[in-house]
Structure 1
Amino acid sequence: MISHLRISKARLAFILGALAMLGPFSIDTIFPAFAVMQGALQVDKVAMQQTISMYLLGYAGMSLFHGPLSDALGRKPVILTGILIFTFASVGCALSTTMPQILFFRVLQGLSAGVGLIVGRAIVRDALDGHDAQRLMSNISMIFGVAPAIAPIIGGWILGWSNWQAIFWFLSGFSALLLLVSALALPESHPVEKRLPMNVKFLANGYREIIGNRKFRLLAYAGTANFGALFLYITSAPAFVLDLLKLNEQQFGYFFVPTIAGMVIGAFFSGRAAGKISGVRLANIGFAFCGLSALFNIVYSGLSPTLHLPWAVLPTVLSAFGIALVFPILTIAILDMYPNQRGGASSMQAFVGLLSNALIAGVLSPMLSDSGLHLALGSAVFTAVAYGMWRWYLAHTDKAQLPEASQDAASLEPTDEM
């Protein structure tokens, strides 16, 4: 029980994990319906890909405000408002009959979908410190990780007995349930006396300070690029599953289930390692798995003229496992840089990542998803950039301030300014 919030850690992890599911559900559930929607709306594959990139642009733009709004108004009101808007946007998508209408409501979904993930990170650090925060973050990652695995399966099932609009009706029902659960069970973790003023000048100065911090940039870029290696495959799932693996709309699970299983196992291991393995060492292990994934992927895709299971998805499993080890370490370190602006720091971290994801979905995925080798090379570049940013961070950090094996992951954040 987290005494000052009057909620158990398990219940809080479940609620925050479920809230974080809105994002991947919004993307992955509609993947099986891409071909059907393409015909119904009379658009091409590139236009359908924009339903992802436009969603992500909305997600990225609003991510700058979710955190500061929660710093000023409290965590719970911001979360409830965001879920309400998402529910309305999902109904709008279900009732849309043209591509411009779909894109409008997809942007609106994006503007609201990130509220649970971004504000949820701030709630974790409001509630807990050190090892406990890393464990809770890892537990949330395990719950959150289920969403990308089951979302396309749910989408395929829905498409099997109904039309593509039913997928958006499902999303509206899911978000309405989350709204009810959050209203009844989610506590407020940010008391009035700790809230910050919400004004443009204060917000601009805060973000200028955050983005101007080299330590923040290096860690944010490392996390963004590391996840980008996997997100390239996630956003290319329709082409990867249907065109390259030659599977059907009901078989997206062959890609997503093992991949997300790797992420869930990695998150479990990260939680168990808290307080036993230093943050630096755990992150290095995670990057090693990502590097192994990239190497195997390039060799297999280069030597095999056609992709086959299970070898084609083994690299994404290894990558997801490594990402799950790295991500909690980097995120907690970033949040600890700004103990009085955790919402703002979480928002800026999300903004950097989402801009990258929008670029991947709208530009790189259409360019690279024509072959397995192109995807493998693109993914490997992201992994190399991520590791380079991480090593740069370590090189500019006083070694005496890095955590020892007995210290917690949050102590990764050094106190010197670069």
Structure 2
Amino acid sequence: MRTSVGAAGVSRLPLLILLLGSITAIGPMSIDLYLPAFPELTRSLHTSESMVQLTLTACLVGLAIGQALIGPLSDAIGRRKPLLVGMAGYAVASVVCALAPSVEALALGRFLQGLAGAAGAVLAQALVRDLVDGPMVASILSRLLLVMGVAPVLAPTLGGQLLGLTGWRGLFWVLTAFGVIMTVVVALFVRETLPHERRRSGGVAGTMRTYRQLLGDRRYVGYAAISALGFLTIFGYVSGSPFAYQEVHGVSPQVFGLLFGLNSIGMVAASQWNARLVLRSPSFQILRRALPFTVAAGLVLLLTTATGWFGLVGLAAPLFVLMSSLGLVLPNAGALALNRHPESAGTAAAMVGMTQFVVGAVAGPVIGALGAATAVPMAGVIAGGALGMAVIVLILAPSERTTRGSVEAGQEAEREAAPLLH
């Protein structure tokens, strides 16, 4: 197993997981905190549901572009500097959002938020890949999901409570404060993990060669596509659930926040189970066994929203199963992709993240264009993403070989990691 290459040694790995999880939480915080404010934003800025959802899409597009730029840059100059600049830029972009006079200005601020916040999304994964190899990548990514999972649990609930006190602008001032705190955290505690001898040069031409190499790897592309479609289901849920719960079923912003948080708890709990499973079973095997639950939940959700069966329960129950199963699917898909190209971890993580947010960005406009008066568009996007993942797994399955060596490597990694992660 690769150990630390810098001052952030293996003995500090639990602290590093906590710090990186908090930094990565900027993405979920940006997306989830203002979800309960969607109906208020529509009224306050005198705009439509689709335009409000466009502000979410703008953030996702910024996250995608930012990762495409920051990932290769970090392979060339190291991880710490891009991360520090990204966190500071995020705080400034949040101020732009808080002061936005129109939905168009808010969309611009959200794009800038995503562009800067992408540093946390991509570099946390690259830092993990700098430090460890093999099954431990999936295990630590699952641990990161525990820390960053607190954000989607708390953010909608906190947003719903703050909404009545501060209005939607106050939510973005909260994100400003979070960005400032994370800038200080990075400056004080995050140290460089990529030594000069492992950095990649070559400028734009070298970056393009690396991207071509990644795109030429069929299995890497397949794992990245599974991650992307997993995020399509998540963002279909994220962009459609505020209207599905509040407009279609009439729940309050506070109750919506609690239901949203419950689903996040299910996803986080499954990811922590996965952190132990990957040290005993191959990642692809776990992914393949979890995916049928994702597909079944997506199809049941489509049925219940189309027919109205079981009312609110018919909406909430399959969403809980779906989100919980993704806690097993997504960490393994991401780890399988990163393990294919350890020599260019920043670019590999950027490609995975970029495709995740590009595909996820489609969900909001599609659901908004089809209308907020029904939950069927949201369910259709979710079911489509789940079925797409299943097709890719079937294509990849013949080339995957479950060997005894991979399980033994996981058991050895568990023994090495035991004093660090348990």
What TM-score, normalized to structure 2?
A: 0.91
| Identity score, percent | 25
1:268 corresponding residue in structure 2: 272
8 Å CA contact 2:233–2:385 kept in 1: the answer is yes
1:161 corresponding residue in structure 2: 165
1:92 corresponding residue in structure 2: 96
Provide closer, same or farther for how the CA distance between residues 14 and 321 of structure 1 changes in structure 2, counting only shifts above 3 A: same
8 Å CA contact 2:136–2:279 kept in 1: the answer is no
Aligned-residue offset at 1:220: 1.1
Aligned-residue offset at 1:250: 2.1
1:298-324 Cα shifts (integer Å, max 9, x gaps): 343344357314x42121221122211
1:120 aligns to 2:124 (yes or no): yes
Could you tell me which runs of 5 or more consecutive residues in structure 1 were left unpaired when the two chains were aligned: 412-418
Structure with greater helix percent? 2
Q: Aligned partners of 1:90 and 1:228: how far apart in 2?
A: 25
What TM-score, normalized to structure 1?
A: 0.91
1:149 aligns to 2:153 (yes or no): yes
Amino acid at match of 1:318: V
1:130 aligns to 2:102 (yes or no): no
Classify the secondary structure of the residue corresponding to 2:92: helix
Q: Aligned partners of 2:173 and 2:355: how far apart in 1?
A: 30
Pick aligned residue for 1:293 from 288, 294, 297: 297
8 Å CA contact 2:54–2:364 kept in 1: the answer is yes
Pick aligned residue for 1:176 from 163, 169, 180: 180
Provide closer, same or farther for how the CA distance between residues 403 and 251 of structure 1 changes in structure 2, counting only shifts above 3 A: farther
Provide closer, same or farther for how the CA distance between residues 326 and 402 of structure 1 changes in structure 2, counting only shifts above 3 A: farther
1:48 aligns to 2:49 (yes or no): no
Moved more, 237-246 or 300-309: 300-309
2:420 corresponding residue in structure 1: none
Aligned-residue offset at 1:361: 1.5
1:111 corresponding residue in structure 2: 115
1:323-367 Cα shifts (integer Å, max 9, x gaps): 111222221221122111110011011111111011111224542
Any residues of structure 2 matched to 1:380-391 within 5 Å, and which? 380-391=383-394
Amino acid at match of 1:283: L
1:242-298 Cα shifts (integer Å, max 9, x gaps): 112211222222331121111111111101112212222211222122123124323
Classify the secondary structure of the residue corresponding to 2:200: coil
Provide closer, same or farther for how the CA distance between residues 384 and 293 of structure 1 changes in structure 2, counting only shifts above 3 A: same
1:416 corresponding residue in structure 2: none
Q: Aligned partners of 1:25 and 1:117: how far apart in 2?
A: 12
Classify the secondary structure of the residue corresponding to 1:375: helix
Q: Aligned partners of 2:405 and 2:389: how far apart in 1?
A: 20
Pick aligned residue for 2:43 from 39, 45, 48: 39
Q: Aligned partners of 1:400 and 1:138: how far apart in 2?
A: 21
Q: Aligned partners of 2:320 and 2:294: how far apart in 1?
A: 9
Moved more, 381-390 or 287-296: 287-296
Classify the secondary structure of the residue corresponding to 1:215: helix
Root-mean-square deviation (Å): 2.3
Q: Aligned partners of 2:147 and 2:245: how far apart in 1?
A: 24
2:311 corresponding residue in structure 1: 307
1:28 corresponding residue in structure 2: 32
Any residues of structure 2 matched to 1:362-401 within 5 Å, and which? 362-367=365-370, 369-395=372-398, 397=399, 399=401
1:334 corresponding residue in structure 2: 337
When the two structures are aligned, how many residues end up with a matched partner? 409
1:237 corresponding residue in structure 2: 241
Q: Aligned partners of 1:388 and 1:287: how far apart in 2?
A: 11
Amino acid at match of 2:359: S
Amino acid at match of 2:166: S
Provide closer, same or farther for how the CA distance between residues 41 and 294 of structure 1 changes in structure 2, counting only shifts above 3 A: closer
Classify the secondary structure of the residue corresponding to 1:354: helix
Amino acid at match of 2:68: L
8 Å CA contact 2:237–2:378 kept in 1: the answer is yes
2:15 corresponding residue in structure 1: 11
8 Å CA contact 1:38–1:44 kept in 2: the answer is yes
Amino acid at match of 2:196: V
Aligned-residue offset at 1:78: 0.7
